[in-house]
Amino acid sequence: MSRIGKMPISLPKGVEVKISDKNVVTVKGPKGQLVQQVDPDIKVSMEDGVISVTRPTDQKRHRSLHGLYRSLINNMVEGVSNGYSKDLEVVGVGYRAANTGQLLELTLGYSHPVMFALPDEVKVSTSQEKGKNPMIRLESADKELIGQIAAKIKSFRKSEPYKGKGIKFQGEILRRKAGKAAAKK
């Protein structure tokens, strides 16, 4: 039995879950509403405010889907109740980040600023303190979407290993390399 798949999901206050006949799970809470289509073989049931996910057999396919859908549903419940956030740090001289509403403007050393329009489900805020690197904060109820957006923003200027310039997650430790001057000794 899957250690993750067999764990029950308890619902916090203010979160409603609907499971339709076509195995569509809808989770509604104070931070929003999320919908997930579940594989027809996997059974999702709710009793007394606890969601349980079961599988029909011990086939490899069913075992892998069991833990997957339990984690996805748990992430949906967590997202609509508490929400998720990711902090990105823009490292580099002259690198800046600013937002006007859902439009993120990044100055990353290119000949032009990079403009990135974010979906309405993701809230963005930027901050610039003197002596510190510019910060981008993303908040959303959808863990998968916020991860994709953060990865896309990081891809505009990946962190390089020599000077550490680029966009990275806050607290991310980069593997640094010595330059060619260190190699001659």
Average pLDDT over residues 140-153: 96
Same domain, 75 and 94: no
Q: For residue 37, give the CATH number of its domain.
A: 3.90.930.12
Contact 133, 91 (CB under 8 A): yes
Which residue range forms the structural domain that includes residue 45?
9-81
Summary mean pLDDT of the chain: 92
Q: Is the pLDDT of residue 182 over 70?
A: no
- Distance between CA 149 and CA 93 in Å, rounded? 24
> So what's the pLDDT on residue 184?
64
Which pTM value belongs to this model?
0.88
Same domain, 75 and 142: no
Contact 67, 55 (CB under 8 A): no
Percent of the chain residues topping a pLDDT of 70? 97
Same domain, 152 and 90: yes
Same domain, 155 and 88: yes
Average pLDDT over residues 32-42: 93
Same domain, 57 and 20: yes
- Distance between CA 67 and CA 63 in Å, rounded? 7
Q: Is the pLDDT of residue 90 over 90?
A: yes
Average pLDDT over residues 22-44: 93
Instruction: Using alpha carbons, select from 52, 78, 50, 54 the residue that is nearest to residue 66.
Output: 54
Residue 181 lies in a domain: no
> So what's the pLDDT on residue 96?
94
Task: Give the other-Cβ count within 10 Å of 2's Cβ.
Answer: 17
Residue 28 lies in a domain: yes
Contact 164, 176 (CB under 8 A): yes
Question: Please, which pLDDT band fits residue 21 given cuts at 50, 70 and 90?
Answer: confident
Same domain, 68 and 90: no
Cα distances (Å, whole numbers) of residue 43 to 27, 54, 74, 175: 16, 5, 15, 44
141 CA to centre of own chain: 9
Average pLDDT over residues 27-46: 93
Average pLDDT over residues 115-138: 94
Residue 174 lies in a domain: no
Q: Is the pLDDT of residue 2 over 90?
A: no
Average pLDDT over residues 110-133: 94
Residue 1 lies in a domain: no
- Pairing status of strand 16-19 against strand 50-54: unpaired
